[in-house]
């Protein structure tokens, strides 16, 4: 795996196309979240040079407000072509050059196009898996690809303000992805009208070469499926979306058709009400940092350096913290991971044409910070650590007949020195660790173990009784921690 990564880096550094002919202003290669954790970092390329990029950003800031647009959609539906039309740059070779990560194009302002659009392009969802059969098992490759795909899409989602969803002829995958993106924007507090201004659809019928053919498909798909109607401005409108249509541009008719659609799309983007983004690169790095902290965790010291730990060993996760409320409880991290990232220039070989830049952590990462083996892929496409796989003991909180509060925590095989409780105000915090009993030659092990912390807000659970916290008693027998709080 390390050799494959080195080969990828060598290709990126020695490939002249990657440095001189790329149409993007910067490219962040997010091929594997582990690159941060093993100190390789994420490679950043500035095709025209970092100074050229900085100068362009400085000059563009004088021209007005930025619109950061994320072009999303399935693999191979023509997202890059849409980027080309919106940005006014030549992306012909990018139909065969697949970017692993996030590519950003800043606007090329002309007399015809004065819209300040920064375009975020990704490889798209459901891209095929590539892996070295001799160094990586198929299941490992597909799992890492799933993590990486989700990671990239979430970084792009967090970085953008406006979303262009590109599709060819509508599929169920498109409908599911579109529904998910729509719901996520609404969950962020947007009303339906706001979502309609932030999420637009581009129907890229690149297989249709004439407007006559396009109109037939539009009649079936936009009118029949979405119930859309054509507006006086030229684009289509359904209950939830604005729709724009592109066709094959190999003819003058196709070129003119697409130019009109793009002009309408730019006008809609320009009319959007969004927050200002002064530095697209910094915003993207902040998004990478945020998402990375959601998928890493601190392993216990005895498993932190164990590269051969079984993937089904749920004990390898960090400690669980349980916060109890009056009627429920939630599992959170005891110490959320807070990796801080920065971009820096690395040592340059005198034979290389451009300096190397990487995104890395500001300080060294402890060896026990790892990409979690217990990730949960949510319906909205996001991914985070699944805390249901950390050890959370069964516990019971009761009021006894004399009014005392009794807290019972089942913890067989507890490591006795770790059992403790503390009082913070009117809250009791119970800590302990269950022995993991993990053997090197386990065939299968579903026995959870590890550290835990249970936070019990006594006064909120029982508001009508005053408890004497100075006389709390604790004992451990038959695998049960028993704490009594006298009334």
Give the CATH number of domain 2-270. 3.40.50.300
Q: Please name which of 361, 368, 365 lies closest in space to residue 307, comparing C-alpha atoms.
A: 368
Numbered ranges of CATH 2.60.40.790 in the chain: 395-485
Q: How far apart are the first and last CA of the chain?
A: 61
Predicted confidence (pLDDT) per residue in 268-278, tens digit = 888 877 766 77
Predicted confidence (pLDDT) per residue in 342-400, tens digit = 999 987 666 666 678 999 999 998 888 888 877 888 776 777 777 666 788 999 999 99
Helix intervals (H) in 301-364: 301-304
What is the Cα–Cα distance from 160 to 118, expressed in whole angstroms?
Answer: 9
Task: Tell me if 71 sits within 8 A of 79, measured CB to CB.
Answer: yes
Predicted confidence (pLDDT) per residue in 235-265, tens digit = 899 999 999 999 988 888 888 889 899 989 9
Helix 252-270 vs helix 79-87: crossing angle, to nearest 10: 80
Numbered ranges of CATH 3.40.50.300 in the chain: 2-270
What is the Cα–Cα distance from 34 to 382, expressed in whole angstroms?
Answer: 18
pLDDT at 172 over 70: yes
Q: Please name which of 396, 337, 344, 399 lies closest in space to residue 368, comparing C-alpha atoms.
A: 337
Residue 219 or 126, more confident: 219
Task: Tell me if 403 sits within 8 A of 465, measured CB to CB.
Answer: yes
By the 10 Å C-beta count (0-12 exposed, 13-18 middle, 19+ buried), 446 is classed as exposed
- Mean pLDDT value across the chain: 79
- Residue 175, beta-bridge partner list: none
Task: Tell me if 82 sits within 8 A of 71, measured CB to CB.
Answer: yes
Cα 286-194-290 angle, rounded to 5 deg? 15
Residue 111 or 13, more confident: 111
CATH domain 395-485 topology: Immunoglobulin-like (2.60.40)
The three-class DSSP label of residue 471 is helix
Predicted confidence (pLDDT) per residue in 421-458, tens digit = 999 999 999 999 988 766 667 777 777 788 899 999 99
Q: What is the pTM of this model?
A: 0.68
pLDDT at 2 over 60: no
Q: How many other CB atoms are there within 10 angstroms of residue 21's CB atom? A: 14
Predicted confidence (pLDDT) per residue in 294-320, tens digit = 888 777 544 333 333 333 333 334 567
Please report which confidence band the pLDDT of residue 19 belongs to, taking 50, 70 and 90 as the band edges.
very low
Please report which confidence band the pLDDT of residue 92 belongs to, taking 50, 70 and 90 as the band edges.
low
């Amino acid at each position: 795996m390390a050799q494959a990564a080195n080969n990828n880096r060598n290709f990126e550094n020695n490939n002249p196309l990657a440095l001189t002919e790329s149409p993007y202003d910067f490219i962040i290669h997010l091929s594997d979240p582990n690159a941060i954790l093993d100190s390789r970092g994420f490679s950043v390329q500035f095709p025209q040079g970092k100074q050229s990029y900085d100068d362009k950003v400085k000059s563009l800031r004088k021209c007005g407000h930025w619109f950061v647009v994320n072009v999303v959609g399935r693999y191979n539906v023509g997202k890059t072509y849409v980027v080309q039309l919106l940005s006014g740059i030549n992306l012909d070779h990018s139909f065969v050059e697949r970017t692993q990560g996030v590519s950003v194009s800043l606007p090329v302002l002309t007399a015809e196009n004065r819209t300040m659009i920064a375009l975020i392009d990704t490889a798209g969802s459901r891209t095929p898996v590539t892996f070295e059969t001799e160094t990586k098992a198929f299941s490992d490759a597909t799992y890492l690809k799933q993590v990486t795909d989700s990671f990239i899409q979430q970084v792009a989602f967090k970085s953008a303000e406006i979303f262009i969803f590109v599709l060819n002829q509508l599929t169920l995958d498109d409908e599911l992805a579109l529904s998910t993106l729509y719901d996520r924007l609404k969950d962020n507090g947007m009303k339906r009208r706001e979502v309609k201004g932030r999420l637009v659809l581009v129907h890229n019928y690149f297989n249709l070469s004439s407007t006559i053919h396009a109109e037939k498909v539009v009649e079936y798909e936009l009118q029949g499926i979405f119930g859309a109607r054509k507006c006086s401005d030229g684009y289509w409108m359904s209950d939830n979306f604005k729709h724009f249509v592109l066709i094959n541009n190999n003819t003058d008719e196709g070129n003119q058709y697409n130019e009109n659609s793009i002009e309408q799309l730019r006008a809609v983007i320009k009319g959007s009400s969004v927050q200002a983004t002064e530095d697209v690169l910094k915003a993207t790095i902040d998004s990478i940092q945020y998402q990375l902290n959601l998928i890493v965790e601190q392993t216990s010291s005895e498993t932190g350096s164990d590269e051969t730990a079984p993937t089904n060993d749920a004990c390898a996760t960090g400690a669980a913290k349980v916060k109890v409320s009056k009627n429920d409880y939630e599992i959170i991290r005891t110490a959320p991971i807070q990796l801080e990232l920065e971009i820096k220039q690395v040592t340059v070989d005198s034979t290389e044409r451009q300096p190397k830049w990487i995104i890395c952590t500001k300080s060294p990462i402890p060896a026990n910070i790892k990409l979690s083996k217990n990730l949960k892929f949510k319906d909205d496409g996001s991914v985070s650590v699944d805390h249901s796989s950390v050890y959370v003991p069964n516990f019971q909180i009761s009021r006894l007949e004399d009014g005392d509060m009794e807290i019972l925590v089942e913890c067989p095989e507890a490591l006795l020195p770790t059992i403790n409780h503390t009082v913070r105000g009117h809250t009791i915090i119970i800590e302990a660790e269950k022995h993991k009993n993990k053997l090197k030659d386990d065939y299968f092990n579903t026995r959870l173990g590890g550290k835990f912390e249970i936070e019990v807000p006594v006064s909120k659970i029982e508001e009508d009784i005053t408890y004497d916290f100075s006389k709390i008693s604790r004992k451990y027998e038959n695998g049960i921690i028993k704490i009594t709080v006298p009334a």
